[in-house]
Structure 1
């Protein structure tokens, strides 16, 4: 693994309870829509770079510095979204996010009382939605998971794991 890949990987596997037989069912990255604004910012940075040759000699540094700062901000936003992962395992759901300092929020499957899938109109057209988890403890780090691609499939995956674990009781035919 290269240096860049090592620095931009959230290292999900190190959070698994391997001794207990925990396996990943689904690792959810953000939908591509979250990268639109960083790409637009990067395009603004490139446009500012194209202005530099036509700028006055005494103020030519200004678009260069502005371009650099905007490009850094765009890279930071893209990296922040890339490092934010939502993971469904056979025992729990958890979220890892953060670039320099990471935050881990975990919820056992037994504590999930309700999952609301919100799909705005543009989300339905582009294939993303937002999850809202309800549990007995209302204030937790896993309440809102935004910009989830294929939200219906992910919801079914969670429901399937909860059902297989026996937390909701036997199926009635």
Structure 2
């Protein structure tokens, strides 16, 4: 029997094609900093919800329902962020996200032309960054991956997997330019 929190696990391993030799190399959960604003809204909403019990008139319902909506929205955002997973295998990268409806986007390693790493100032302090994948396709479902913890290590892993798959000329294939003197 599944536990009450079982629905939070997106079970990303079921999308790995083990029978075709695919191996999961990394599963990335969003950095804890992505939850700062939802947790702040949750705490403020709970405080206002608890404060609403001092009212005795019709205003009690307004004072209670508004913070209840804020609490519900904050819990929804936290669940949504927890279920957002980015996975690296030896054949592809993919993302699984969504709370009620689940969305999957994948890109074979052969389609990755460039990876841009964006590390905002606060991300450098807290240890997260964002990936931007460029591929031959104009529109793709896997372009930006935000709130990636330890992004430099994750970028090195992707470079190593691309190299091991024989798709690049070396570990500097991603985000490198070749100077041929012309």
Give the TM-score normalised by structure 1: 0.93
Query: 1:60 & 1:140 partners in 2: Cα distance?
Result: 48
2:28 paired with 1:32: no
Deviation at 1:116, TM superposition (A): 0.5
1:90-149: CA deviation from partner (whole Å, max 9, x where unpaired): 110000111111111110111111100010111101111000001100310111111111
Residue 174 (structure 2) aligns with: none
Residue 136 (structure 1) aligns with: 136
Q: Which blocks of at least 5 consecutive residues in structure 2 are unaligned? A: 172-182
Deviation at 1:60, TM superposition (A): 1.3
Other structure's SS at 2:5 match: helix
- Indicate the larger mover: 55-64 or 85-94: 55-64
Question: 1:170 and 1:120, CA in 2 relative to 1: closer, same or farther beyond 3 A?
Answer: closer
Other structure's SS at 2:70 match: helix
- Indicate the larger mover: 3-12 or 139-148: 3-12
Deviation at 1:13, TM superposition (A): 1.1
Query: 1:156 & 1:4 partners in 2: Cα distance?
Result: 37
Question: 1:85 and 1:170, CA in 2 relative to 1: closer, same or farther beyond 3 A?
Answer: closer
> Which contiguous aligned blocks of 4+ residues in structure 1 show a shift greater than 4 angstroms?
none
Residue 111 (structure 1) aligns with: 111
Q: Which blocks of at least 5 consecutive residues in structure 1 are unaligned? A: none
Deviation at 1:51, TM superposition (A): 1.6
Give the TM-score normalised by structure 2: 0.89
Residue 121 (structure 1) aligns with: 121
Deviation at 1:170, TM superposition (A): 6.2
Question: 1:139 and 1:18, CA in 2 relative to 1: closer, same or farther beyond 3 A?
Answer: same
Query: 2:46 & 2:114 partners in 1: Cα distance?
Result: 45
Residue 71 (structure 1) aligns with: 71
Other structure's SS at 2:87 match: strand
